[in-house]
Structure 1
Amino acid sequence: MVRLSKQEFRDFLKIVFICIGWYIVSSTNGVLGKTVLSQFPYPMTVTMVHLASIALFSTPLLKMLQIREHESTWSHHKSILLPLAFGKFVSSVFSHISLWKVPVSYAHTVKASMPIFTVLISRFLLGERHSYSLYLSLFPIVLGVATATVTELSFDVTGLGSALIATAGFSLMNVYSKRAMKETGMHHLRLLHKLGQISALMFLPVWTLVDLTSFRKDLSMEVVILLAIDGFLHWIQNILAFTLLKMVVPLTYAVANVTKRISVITVSLLLLKNPVTATNVCGMLLAIGGVFCYNLAKYRENQAKDSLPLSMSKPVPSRPLWQNHLTFDPKVQVTTPLSYLDTQIKRNQ
């Protein structure tokens, strides 16, 4: 039985509470986001509220936690932060469009296809090779998403396409966020704050052209309150996700993310009561199960890579025991038997 130290036990409890909080906030945020978009069909404005919430609410938090400002060069902004910020607002926009067009349960089932995009990105953009078992683990995900799509009663092509684009964008962000934290050495909450600021500024002209003049007619005090709560919950969700990603290994985070998706789907089905069929639920479960299989295959692939030697050592040629060499006493030398016999014969002569 493994015994944990007091510090390890505290860390374990901290991770458990962060996961529980993450599941509750994410489920609430999913249901509330669908409610807001049903009453206020402006996904661009909802996206702007989310991005602005990250930029505004993170500022006092960073000061309270005394997280210093990170000095990043223009090359880091150009090669890492700007693409990440662009991907963040594009993914957020399409995520809200999908949430507006299709039920929460179906949108999150489609988002379970994230491992597919992660494998494609790592293969074609980063040049990484994967095992056959990893590719085979993607098959249940494809089959599950396809089953859920065919049997979805509230199916919408725009919703499906938006969910797929958002998932691809989030996959790209996950791959390059790790690179950003590694190369810049930036604190994870500072990185979140920076991405919120840059993405909000980049998205501001788009939002101004599309929604600024049209959303006011549907704006009410109830909608304003719902938007404020939705933005605050989205910020809390990002804080918990980035903190958990910092505390645990990638496999643990991936499993926790799948569990979060299950909780979001379950809560949305119970509270929003959107109609589903038994085959539709089976498709959801198959897609989620496929993600578990992918995580297991990915873990085994990483274990195999870590266990392989980096280079093959050259074999050392064996030498006879009597070959000339130094012993522990450098004054004593061991000679071959033949040379010893030659010396004795010469002495006798």
Structure 2
Amino acid sequence: MAFNGNNLSPNGYPARSAWSSSGRTHGRQKSLGDAFRTIRARNGSMSQNAHEIADALRAPVSPKLVVLCLMWYTSSALTNTSSKSILNAFNMPATLTLIQFAFVSSLCVFLSWLSGIFPVLRTNISALRHPIRQPSREVIMTTLPLAMFQIGGHLLSSTATAKIPVSLVHTIKGLSPLFTVLAYRLIYNIRYPTATYLSLIPLTLGVMLACSSERSYGGQLLGVLEALLATLIFVTQNIFSKKLFNEAAKVESEGGGVQSRKLDKLNLLCYSSGMAFALTMPIWFWTEGITLLKDFLHDGSVDLSELPNSMDHGRLTLEFIFNGIFHFGQNIIAFILLSMVSPVTYSVASLIKRVFVIVMAIIWFRSPTTSVQAVGIALTFLGLYLYDRTSESNKADRTARMMSEPRNGTSLLPLTEVPAQTGRYRASPQLRSGAFQS
């Protein structure tokens, strides 16, 4: 893809659309405070003042990004409700995780092969621009950490889902924005304003209320701990893998050849899932494989749940296929989103996804919605709006994104040292309009 002077961002880097997998997040938008200061500073007409306020109140994300998020939410909701249905009939979480890894890796290879037959796919879809590479030591070493994160996170999530309701699992996963902000504050000393921390309170509280019900969870402490550990693993993965996703986005946007040293997102997803599948096999065989093989050799089939309305073997097979396809969909969309936005913004979008999963589960299982759940959903969206409208949060948010974008061999973090504070660093106050000072 060729770039000219018309598609460069203010900092000299290629500008990218929100639809593209390598797109950047939306630019800085005026807050209400900025709008009122502008109005006070000038003696404009009533229509000019109204226009200024309307600009501050309008949605701070592009419609295309909203559509991409909705696709992510839908595929995630279908995957989670399907996973719970499978585990209700066939309580083998490691088997479910193993099959999901197999589907993701296989579908990556299939789409790469399909794009070779139909070049229009490779032209119009940036994620398919590069074919799957041949295995090499460099490829394996690059994707091995991602595979380890996926193994821990998905195994714990599946095991927790088998023990406790999906709503409780997603309540715990809804704490990811707090963990992310805390990690950046403690590890990288990136300072967010107080308003940002306060805006995360209604977000998290809203998800907790939305996921609550009158049903008792039976003291499934182990399931709660497994969901909490899975959340911590996924937050760590999001922070760690940001550099890989930025490099993948650069490969796709620059149209580099197959011999490029960096991997694009399709290769990252294919190899990390493929390696996760291979490394999960011994775990699966020890925990569930031996039991399943004994059962199959005994009577030629595996035992399923005898609960009313439970699945038979044919429906279970179709459910596994359905689950695997949508699990692949939510993964590749998540990879695209994570390369477009900062880990904190991704965590907030993920938080909204939790609410969407709850709503879909209520419809799927025809569960009545309580007033507490309705209030929780409203609180969550209020918290998201407050977070996006925080006038100074974008500075720290952009600094977090730039941690993994090395330029000309400089530090991964665009920092300004503050000598009076004993080695502490803060986000550069000169960052404006998406342009970073290194």
Residue equivalent to 1:177: 241
Residue equivalent to 1:35: 85
Taking structure 2 as the reference length, the TM-score comes to 0.59
Residue equivalent to 1:3: none
Taking structure 1 as the reference length, the TM-score comes to 0.72
Residue equivalent to 1:299: 394
CA deviations over 1:200-222 (Å, ceiling 9, x no partner): 11111101100112245325232
Unaligned stretches of 5+ in structure 1? 1-6, 311-349
- Quote the Cα distance in structure 2 between the aligned partners of 1:233 and 1:146: 25
Match status 1:228 vs 2:290: no
- Quote the Cα distance in structure 2 between the aligned partners of 1:202 and 1:266: 35
- Quote the Cα distance in structure 2 between the aligned partners of 1:106 and 1:275: 16
Query: Is 2:176–2:351's contact at 8 Å kept on the other side of the alignment?
Result: no
Of all paired residues, the percent bearing the same amino acid is 28
Please show how residues 1-349 of structure 1 align to structure 2 within 5 Å: 15=65, 17-63=67-113, 64=115, 65=128, 67-69=130-132, 74=137, 77-78=140-141, 81-141=143-203, 143-144=205-206, 153-155=215-217, 156-182=220-246, 185-215=262-292, 216=295, 217-218=302-303, 220-246=313-339, 248-250=340-342, 253=346, 256-274=349-367, 277-279=370-372, 282-283=375-376, 286=379, 289-290=382-383, 293-294=386-387, 297=390, 298-299=393-394, 301-302=396-397, 305=427, 307-308=429-430
> Aligned-pair RMSD on alpha carbons?
3.5
Query: Is 1:151–1:280's contact at 8 Å kept on the other side of the alignment?
Result: yes
**Compared CA separation, residues 66 and 196, structure 1 to 2 (3 A):** same
- Quote the Cα distance in structure 1 between the aligned partners of 2:369 and 2:18: 41
Unaligned stretches of 5+ in structure 2? 1-15, 21-61, 116-127, 249-261, 296-301, 305-312, 400-426, 433-438
Determine which structure has the larger helix proportion and give its number.
1
Query: Is 2:202–2:382's contact at 8 Å kept on the other side of the alignment?
Result: yes
Q: Residue 186 of structure 1: SS of its match in structure 2? A: coil
**Compared CA separation, residues 154 and 272, structure 1 to 2 (3 A):** farther
1:163 positional shift? 1.7
What is the aligned residue count? 302
**Structure 2 counterpart of 1:81, which letter?**
T
CA deviations over 1:293-339 (Å, ceiling 9, x no partner): 455554353369454379xxxxxxxxxxxxxxxxxxxxxxxxxxxxx
Bigger Cα Rg: 1
Q: Residue 289 of structure 2: SS of its match in structure 1? A: coil
**Structure 2 counterpart of 1:92, which letter?**
H
- Quote the Cα distance in structure 1 between the aligned partners of 2:263 and 2:215: 45
Query: Is 1:109–1:287's contact at 8 Å kept on the other side of the alignment?
Result: no
Query: Is 1:47–1:96's contact at 8 Å kept on the other side of the alignment?
Result: yes
